[in-house]
Amino acid sequence: MNKNRPYLLVFMVLATVTWYVWKNQNSGTLDPIDTNFAIEDTASVVRIFIADRKGQRLTLDRKKGGPWRMGSGQTPRPDAVFTMLQTLRRWEVKTPVPRPAVQNVFKILATTSVKVEVTMADGSGQVYYVGSGTPDMRGTYAMKEGSKLPYILHLPGWEGYLSTRFFANEEEMRERVLLRLQPSNLERLVVEYPAEPENSYELRILPTGTFELRDLAGTNLPCNQRAAATLFAGFAFLPVEGFENMQPMRDSVPGRVPEKMRLKLWEKGGKLHFISVYPKSQLNQLDVVLLNVAPDIDRDYFYHHGMNEFGVLQKRAIPWFYATKPQLREEGGGP
């Protein structure tokens, strides 16, 4: 609350002055400076800073024409950045806020709006305060820094509110990819299924470029080369449904849920990726009630030990990841 106090004071002073100006204006003409929200040349946007009333901060930077990076160094979701830039390019004023509602809208912006700072390659910029949707959900309250009045904005040809397009949660913004590895740089994979040891295996790439399959006792098995190649190729892009490092039960999952799968992947040079997988379908009733997390047979939790990343996998999106020893064996290769 203390962090937000300066914003509240600024908005309340601004609201009082603006109300006085509005009340005493005789002309209904809209100020073009106040109402020109769109940024036509979004290709020249090099920085976007977003701050919300919860204290969350998000910075996106790039060199003109280059890739976007978050302030934390992570890659942002391309879809989220594209949507944000498209909104900045296309949004426009639908109508002024009705005079009786101006004071109330100022209060809404003072308490719930998201601050969006946009910087261009030439150093110029714009600051917006984006609030909640209108009661009919067909517009969004917003105003530019320095403007006299708030307005109702929309995207022509699209119905809905725009506030959800600007968010400051870094975990929600980051690209939903856990691993991007070069398959040619991989060396060895060991997968254990604690409850199903018959499905566990070890897979190696030999100097000849072929694959060698073994059980965990070290016995060589006939290997389906195509299936093994598909498995290793998958690690070039391992998507996740989402990262949940702020999830309250992140640290308790290993103790509450039995480990379903244990994956160890080595790159050439010895770098290890160690991932534990926990079935989301086996959450107990206490977790469901206290944490409001529902069991799900189509999803699993994962934890990457080296990267200290926790999140959710969608099984249908990465069936190759769940390969078992029988699936990697050459057909007709014996028991």
- pLDDT of 259-289, one tens digit each? 999 999 999 999 999 999 999 887 655 555 5
> Is the same domain home to 194 and 322?
yes
> Is the same domain home to 47 and 194?
no
295 within domain boundaries: yes
pLDDT band at 26 (very low <50, low <70, confident <90, very high): very low
Ramachandran angles phi, psi of 137, nearest 5°: 60, 25
335 within domain boundaries: no
pLDDT at position 21, please? 45
> Is the same domain home to 152 and 221?
no
pLDDT at position 31, please? 76
Q: What are all long-range contacts of 76-82, with beta carbons under 8 Å and residues at least 24 apart? A: 76/173, 76/174, 76/175, 77/173, 77/174, 77/175, 77/176, 78/175, 80/172, 80/173
Q: Determine the Cα–Cα distance for residues 90 and 95; give it in Å rounded to an integer.
A: 15
Domain range spanning residue 126? Answer: 5-173
**CA 91 → CA 85, 165, 189, 241, 270, distances in Å?**
10, 12, 50, 30, 51
Q: In terms of Cα–Cα distance, which of 334, 333, 329 is closest to 226? A: 329
Q: Determine the Cα–Cα distance for residues 15 and 107; give it in Å rounded to an integer.
A: 8
334 within domain boundaries: no
Q: What is the pTM of this model?
A: 0.79
> Is the same domain home to 181 and 62?
no
> Is the same domain home to 210 and 309?
yes
- Looking at the structure of the chain, the number of domains it has is 2
Per-position DSSP letters for 82-98, written without gaps between them: HHHHHHHHH-EEEEEPP
> Is the same domain home to 48 and 184?
no
* Tokens coding 211: 């694959």
pLDDT at position 33, please? 79
Report helix angle 5-24 to 102-112, nearest 10: 160
Ramachandran angles phi, psi of 144, nearest 5°: -95, 150
Query: What residues have CB less than 8 Å from 70, skipping those under 6 apart?
Result: 58, 59, 60, 76, 170, 173, 174
> Is the same domain home to 141 and 115?
yes
Sheet holding 92-96, edge to edge: 69-70, 57-61, 45-51, 114-120, 125-133, 140-144, 151-154, 92-96
319 within domain boundaries: yes
> Is the same domain home to 108 and 121?
yes
Overall average pLDDT of the 127-137 stretch:
94
Q: Determine the Cα–Cα distance for residues 11 and 199; give it in Å rounded to an integer.
A: 62
Ramachandran angles phi, psi of 220, nearest 5°: -70, 140
* Tokens coding 254: 């290993």
Q: What is the DSSP letter of 16?
A: H
**Beta pairing partners, 58:** 50
Find out whether 160 and 82 touch, Cβ atoms under 8 Å.
no
Q: Which of 127, 153, 173 is the last residue of a domain?
A: 173
Q: Determine the Cα–Cα distance for residues 120 and 200; give it in Å rounded to an integer.
A: 53
Q: Determine the Cα–Cα distance for residues 33 and 14; give it in Å rounded to an integer.
A: 17
**Where is pLDDT greater, at 334 or 215?**
215
> Is the same domain home to 252 and 213?
yes
Interval 194-245: pLDDT, tens: 999 999 999 999 999 999 999 999 999 999 999 999 999 999 999 999 999 9
> Is the same domain home to 159 and 209?
no
Q: Which of 113, 148, 173 is the last residue of a domain?
A: 173
Q: Determine the Cα–Cα distance for residues 4 and 16; give it in Å rounded to an integer.
A: 19
Mean pLDDT of the chain: 89
